[in-house]
Amino acid sequence: MLQFKDLAEAMGRIRPFIAVSPLVPSNHLSERLQVNLFLKLENLQVTGSFKVRGALNKILLMSKEERDRGVVTASAGNHAQGVAWAAGKLGIEATVVMPRHAPIAKVLATRGYGAQVIREGDTYDDCARRAMELAKARGATLIHAFDDPQVIAGQGTLGIELCQQMGELDAILIPAGGGGLIAGVSLAIKTLRPNVRVIGVQSEKAPAFAESWKKGERVELPPGSTLCDGIAVAKPGEITFQMAQGLVDEMFLVKEEFVEAAIVTFLERKHLVVEGAGAAPLALFLQEEGLLRGKKVVLLVSGGNLDLQWLDRLIQRGAMGLSRRMRLKALLPDVPGSLAKATSLIASTGANILQVFHDRLAPGHQIQFSEVEFDLEIEGPEHAEALKKLLEENGISLIQEVGAKPGPWRGSPLERLK
């Protein structure tokens, strides 16, 4: 069984290669959530994720003969980049098997670090099977993404580092997928701060680790579509599960809507790009009102490798959720000047017109009218109401509205943090 001394030795081993990730307080989130909140920003780590810690520790322990034969791994993205970067630093050939639908940013980054990328299978588990076959055929070293003592020890250095950065602490929230991070960090925390509550967080769309922990036995649950691709694993590791059973105090599942809200909140309030798995701990606070109120808590922000295509969609949807953007659909007489009149009225309120969709062929309306949709940037719900009132007072019929509706505290996750 892994010992704390293994983590301490790994700490000394990898220290020359990696940065000490920042631990920062969040005054805004602390005030809103009524928690003394700190963020451990592994999204600012080399390769944008904690995964480089475990990969480095594993590779640094390999013999020269093993290094000459190269390494093989499977990953949805962050472990891939960690292995590719570490192998490149030491001049080792690396092959990474990634899912066909892995985020493009992670695929390109892995190749950029010098690894050969093979895209095969739909899930991490598909890739893991193929990686094992390749490693056996080539005589290469297989670097498991989480269920390897040396990888776990590397991830556990994060817990030691955290304890060196701060004194008193009540709880830490850690994303959990295969379990390498939560197993390693839990061992460090429970050794150095035994009274700290260790809380694991996983998406409800990929609940295998949480359900296994609750049942006391490993269960296999194929993951669904989730923003938390970094922790979307069908079954926890044997070693990581055994460790978590004795070290983790609680496990929670979070809904995707709260993960999305957490990502947007990091962008809006902290100017941080955080991927789904890294945002899961904050998502839990948005979902569970009153959680750990008054306590001193660390959120482990595990990674920031968010696909740019997802980022664009999240920003647009987040703007809707924060009542910064709305869409209005109106019926306008199909005569010269009617569109100019509408846009002039909108501009007079200070709203910014982002796009206009003009449809003369929309069904269900008299032929003398056109359906026009305005995509608008606004200041908030009050601005939206004033704008609608002005249009209606000037004879413009509104037929649909999307976004910018004021809601209750529990209505939208984003409403909580405005």
Q: What is the mean pLDDT of residues 97-111?
A: 87
The better pLDDT of the pair 408, 257 is held by: 257
Domains of the chain are 4-45+149-318 (3.40.50.1100), 51-142 (3.40.50.1100), 323-402 (3.30.70.260)
Local structure of residue 355 (DSSP, 8 states): E
CB neighbour class for 242 (10 Å; exposed up to 12, middle 13-18, buried from 19) = middle
Could you tell me the pTM of the whole model?
Answer: 0.85
Q: What is the pLDDT of residues 35-74, one digit of tens each?
A: 999 999 999 999 999 999 999 999 999 999 999 999 999 9
In the chain, what is the greatest distance between 2 CA atoms, to the nearest angstrom? 81
The pLDDT assigned to 251 comes to 97
What is the share, in percent, of the chain residues with pLDDT greater than 90?
A: 74
- Asked if residues 297 and 310 have their Cβ atoms less than 8 Å apart, the reply is no
Residue 408 has what pLDDT?
32
From CA 1, how far away is CA 288, in angstroms rounded?
Answer: 34
Report whether 298 contacts 38 (CB < 8 A).
Answer: yes
* DSSP string covering 148-211: -HHHHHHHHHHHHHHHHH-S--SEEEEE-SSSHHHHHHHHHHHHH-TTSEEEEEEETTS-HHHH
> What is the distance between the terminal CA atoms of the chain, rounded to a whole angstrom?
46
Model pLDDT for residues 156-192, shown as the tens digit of each residue = 999 999 999 999 999 999 999 999 999 999 999 999 9
Question: At which residue do the structure tokens 């983790």 appear?
Answer: 248
Using one digit for the tens of pLDDT, what is the confidence trace for 116-161?
999 988 887 889 899 999 999 999 999 999 999 999 999 999 999 9
